[in-house]
Every structure is written in C-alpha cells, then in structure tokens.
Chain A
C-alpha cells in the first residue's frame, strides 16, 4: 500500500473517530463543565470493595434528584497526585471521597479543600457523626477537613481450624501463648502469620508490635518525627519484633510479600493468622470466615498495654468539598445528605461490610465477621494502639513502607531496622 495513502487514511480515520466519539453527548465527551453535573473523584472504581453499592447509590441519588448527573472520576493509588494537579489548574472535582492519609492531611490548610464546620451545622449533620470520627477529622486549628464517613477496625484474624490442627485450642492472648502457638504451627508445617512485609500491611504490624513497649505519647512523637534509634522504648519494641520474627512468626519470603500475597495465604488456609483491615475482613471467603475468630495481637505483659492490641480509626473515607464544589454547593449538600442518610449508609454496611463513623448504624447483616471484628475492636478485651498513619508525615509514608521490608528480612538487627526507619524520614 502506498505510504502516503496510509498516512492520509490514518489521519482521516483519527479525525472522523475523534469527531464522532467526542462530540456533544458522545461517550468520549467529558461533560465536566456542565453546571448540572456533580463531579465526584473517588477510589470506588468498578471491581473494588464497595464499588457495586456505590454505583447503585449514585443511580438512586440521580433518580431522587432529576437534573443532577453525577460524573465519577476514579483513581487508585494516584488519586492524591491527580487531585492536587487538577486543583492547581482549577479543574478539580467538586467532591472527593478519599481517606485522610498522606498528602490529604495538608489539603484543608493549603486551601485545596474547604473546612466543613459550617456545613456540618447548617445541614444539621453534626449529631450524625460519632465524636471519635469528628475528632479524627479535625485539625489543630479546629477545622473539620471533610465529612467523616467510613472508618476501620484492624484486628488479627485467627483460623481456629488450623490452630486446632496444631493442637492450639485457644486463640493466643499473651506473648508466651503466641510463641507456643508459633512453635506448634511450625511443627505442623503451617505458616503462623501471613503478612505483606513489603507494604503498608507489614509496616502497620511492625509498628503495632513496636508499640508493645512504647507509651502512646512517645509513639506519636516518634511516628511524627522519627528518631527510632535514639528512643529506648522504640528499640525495645524492635527487639521484641526481631525476636518474634526469628522464632518463625512469619512465612518464608515475607519481606517480599504484599498485602495481596498475605490475603492469598490466609484465604487459602495456608496461614493461621493475619492482621486484617475491615475491607480485607469483608473479603474473607465464607468457608474460611466460618472458622475465623477476630482478636487482638498479643502484647508483652511488662509493656505499655496489658491486653492484646488492635488498630481502629475513622479516617478510611471522608467526603471532601473542593473550591469548585462551592460553586455547586446546593448539589453538594444533597449529595452529602444522601450519603449520610441511615438507609444509604446501612446499604454499605450490609452489602459491602463497611464500618461507618456515623451514629446509630446496625452491624453488617451480610458480613458477620466484620461485625464481630468491629465489636472486638471496640470492646474492653483489647487495647487500641496509636495509628501511625495519623502522625507519619506524607513524604515519609512510601519510604517507610519500603524500609519495613528490611525489618521482615531474616537476620536484620534492631539497629539496622531503626536506621532504615530513620532514613525513610529523610527521603
């Protein structure tokens, strides 16, 4: 074929295709400038936890509000960067549904999102929010960064069948019991605890074990400003971590695993324990969930917490209003009120296993293990340790996850681990 004609045909085809598809109303027409369109940026992309319920809720919202169309923008890990770039160009979405983590801590202070204190009052939503959630979303200047929405529990899951197979009849609640369980499970060829030593899941477990000997105020300071090597309590916690690691608590190659491999290990019943976030708990296969028990991570008797520990938090997802959203505040109000409505919220609780930071919601009907985990995490049998994400600076988050991998590497000493953690804050 004559190359000139090929080039011409390609150009013509591209032009025609572009015109056909991107014209008004076509599937490739962005429509983001339409005043009747509310643009919502979130991580609820199809196929992710809660996405089906979210899509159904949006359809219901549009039915209830004729003339308002919701345009969804989705991102996963890149959401923070994409939002910030769009904000710089004044092209950000009207509403953002995202967790309070990493870069989003600074958004309200920088004017990238609006404080919602006044809207909470004007729209009569303050009473709907649990006090702990309101506190978590309020910054030092008293600004509520966004409407608190979903939260999380982060207990440890125990596969009671695998424990029983190894002769362990009770879920371990103390360190000596945990060591005995590890030994028994190892003897049976079962991995005691699944973990993603190369990502956030490993980082949280490392810091949870480390807190065995750290006072909450010390933990908050160290997580915020580093200085792990210089802090005796942190070093004692790291020694505990390396001792547990060296007794065989984690599986082979844990330092290279991510949360996905961790889930596969536990869901495939090859590991007897797993530290699990609410969304992960909701994904536990039914057959495994039947013989799974939620509990806390055993902590040292001579440490800061006399009970097994868990993480809990109210910062999973918030509803943020952007400066562009202010221009469509009437639509934003309807949207927020819809997503605060008991019926809408219960839909997420029942069908997606979400934990909401709102008052008067019943436990999940469809996810009993999630309900059990929430009850355990908020009960008196466990202690709640400091959540690192609320204190670690945004710039250190990713390097800290990478440094965690060193901690899970066999033979890594507490000194080597603390140096890696300290260096992560200088990245």
Chain B
C-alpha cells in the first residue's frame, strides 16, 4: 500500500513536470545559441581592450567602454568610404539580381515544356561552379572590358554568382501561386508584365525577401573577387577589403581590428533585423507547403 502510494505520488509529480526530452532539447538549443554568441561576445569585448588584456583574459568584460578603437578603425582603414562602396555594390547588385531573376522565375514557373525543364536545370548547374575556378576567366574578362579596378564590373558580376539560387528559389515560390489567379487577371486584360508585377510579386514577397537577404549576405561578405577585381584603392574598395588593413603581419592592435570587424557586422545585423520576420515567415511558409 505504501509502495503503491509512493509510486502513485511519484507518477503524479512527474506528469505535470517538463518532459526530459524537452529539457534536453532546450539544453541543446541553449548550448547552440551560446556557441553562436561566444565569438560575437569575444569580438565585442575585445573592441574595448588592449592587446595585453585580450591575450591575458580573452573572455573577461572590458574595464572601460571607450569607443576610441572604433574611431581609430574607421579613420585608419577609411571604413566610412568602404561602407559607402559596399552599399553601392551590394544594393546595386541586389536590384540587378531581382530584376533578372523575377521574370526568369515567372517564365520558368509557368512554362511546362521540356525546354523549360532543361533551362531550369541549367540554372541549377550554376551551383557546381567553384568560386576559385571562375576567378581567372573573370579577371581576364574584366581586363578585356576595361572594367578592371572598377565597382561597375563587380556590380555586374556578383548577380551572376547568385542568379542560379535566386531563380531556383523564386521559381518554387511562384509555382505555389494558383493558376486560376493568373487566368482571372488575363481575363481582365492584364499582360504578362502586369501579371508578374501586380499578381505574382505581391504573392511571392517572402521568396523575394529570402533571396534578398541571402544575396545581401553574399555580396556584403564577398572578399576574394572584391580584392582582385576592385583592388586596394580606398576610393573604391569594399569593407571586406578595407578591414584586413587593420591587421599587419608585424604588429597588430587586435582591439582596433575587433572594432573594425564589429563595424562590418552592423549593416548585416540591421538588414537581418529589418527582414527577419518576413524571412522566417517565408521559411515556415515553405515548410508548411512541403
């Protein structure tokens, strides 16, 4: 009787508690979050420390919150100009990739023939081209066109690198738009461009946002092609090319370098924060549809 009562009581206590699986899942999630946050924390606190403090106690909080290293990073590497250049390149490339990918995706989503399937697969093949493999021919092309060491070439080139992903993603989003909606619009006399702009575009906004944020991250963080094709000129170089100037092989102020890196991350964070809800909505929407 006593044993039964104890068992019942124990059973009774366990039921309203949190299941073990959920605790484990939460533990894993928190661990993962901490693993992601740790480098950001390290970067941020290092921005307020001297080299000696960074090496002696890397994870301890800073003793002062002077923003002098941020000012030094910005003035030494001219991060102000670099951010302007990165914005010019990133935003222009973003607009270009959407202008190219939206009509292409619309056409592919609505075409049902074998040719369309071949073209769609051809776009997918773009994923197979390794970045390094394209560097030399791209450089030669830039030199041949007289666009070497210009932002213009990068603005034309970067959309080409992300176009396959943009087209494949947007095509899938556009396929979810019911055919009847388009037919109704056509009966009202709308042409293909009008249907794309007024019917499809509003319905695939989550897809556009997804492509936008993925492309933004890719363009903003691009280093190799920016270094090779635009070069070191402070009037043109992007932020990813400017920040390494804060690192010298002989002697580096790691506090200034960390501050410069934080500055490069801010626009990415702002862009993500701005588009986060729409992107998450798009992801969830896609998952539900699958």
Residues of A at the B interface (CB closer than 8 Å) are 3-4, 7, 10-11, 13-15, 17-18, 21-22, 27-32, 41, 43, 45-49, 71, 73-78, 81-82, 85-86, 88-89, 91, 199-200, 259-261, 263-265, 267-268, 277, 279-280, 283
Contact = CB atoms under 8 A, between A and B. Distances in A.
A261 B247 CA distance: 14
Contacts of A10: 91, 94-95
Interface residues of B, number: 50
B148 A89 contact: yes
Contacts of A31: 235
Interface string B240-256: 00001111111111101
B59 interface: no
Interface of B is mostly: helix
B232 to A, nearest CB: 5
A46 B253 CA distance: 12
23 contacts: A3-B208, A11-B92, A14-B88, A14-B92, A14-B95, A31-B235, A45-B76, A45-B77, A46-B75, A47-B72, A71-B233, A74-B232, A76-B245, A78-B232, A82-B231, A86-B148, A86-B231, A199-B249, A260-B51, A260-B252, A264-B52, A279-B251, A280-B250
Nearest to B253: A47
Contacts of B208: 3
Given A10-B95, A14-B88, A73-B231, A86 B245 contact: no
B251 A49 contact: yes
A128 B79 CA distance: 39
B162 to A, nearest CB: 16
Given A11-B95, A28-B236, A82-B227, A259 B250 contact: yes
B219 to A, nearest CB: 12
A49 B252 CA distance: 10
A280 B71 CA distance: 25
A267 B77 contact: no
B143 interface: yes
B40 interface: no
Contacts of B202: 3
B231 A260 contact: no
B76 A47 contact: yes
Given A13-B91, A28-B81, A73 B233 contact: yes
A3 B245 contact: no
B154 to A, nearest CB: 12
Contacts of B139: 85, 88-89
Contacts of B227: 78, 82
Nearest to A21: B84
Nearest to A50: B250
Contact of B249 (A41, A91, A259): A259
Q: Which of B139, B228, B235 has the most CB of A within 10 A?
A: B235
B85 interface: yes
B52 A78 contact: no
A264 B254 CA distance: 11
A151 to B, nearest CB: 14
B127 interface: no
Interface of B: 51-52, 55-56, 72, 75-77, 81, 84-85, 87-88, 91-92, 94-95, 98, 139, 142-143, 148-149, 151, 197, 201-202, 205, 208-209, 227-228, 231-236, 244-254, 256
Contacts of B85: 28
B249 A77 contact: yes
A45 B232 CA distance: 11
A30 to B, nearest CB: 5
A32 B95 CA distance: 29
A267 B254 CA distance: 15
A21 B86 CA distance: 13
Contact of B95 (A7, A27, A78): A7
Contacts, number: 142
Contact of A277 (B143, B234, B250): B250
Given A47-B256, A89-B148, A280-B250, A14 B87 contact: yes
A28 B84 contact: yes
B17 to A, nearest CB: 45
A17 B232 contact: no
Given A14-B87, A18-B92, A280-B251, A3 B235 contact: no
A89 B146 CA distance: 9
A46 B231 contact: no
A89 B142 contact: yes
Q: Which of B94, B149, B202 has the most CB of A within 10 A?
A: B149
A100 to B, nearest CB: 15
A91 B245 contact: no
A348 to B, nearest CB: 15
B233 A32 contact: yes
Contacts of B88: 14, 17-18, 21-22, 28
B250 A17 contact: no
B75 A279 contact: no
A295 B98 CA distance: 64
A82 B94 CA distance: 27
Contact of A41 (B87, B205, B232, B254): B232
Given A3-B202, A15-B92, A75-B245, 11 more contacts: A13-B91, A17-B87, A47-B77, A48-B250, A76-B248, A78-B232, A85-B139, A89-B143, A91-B148, A267-B52, A280-B250
Given A4-B197, A14-B87, A89-B142, A48 B244 contact: no
A189 B256 CA distance: 32
Contacts of B235: 22, 27-31
Contacts of A267: 51-52
A260 B251 contact: yes
Given A21-B84, A28-B236, A3 B250 contact: no
Contact of B250 (A41, A75, A88, A279): A279
A380 to B, nearest CB: 29
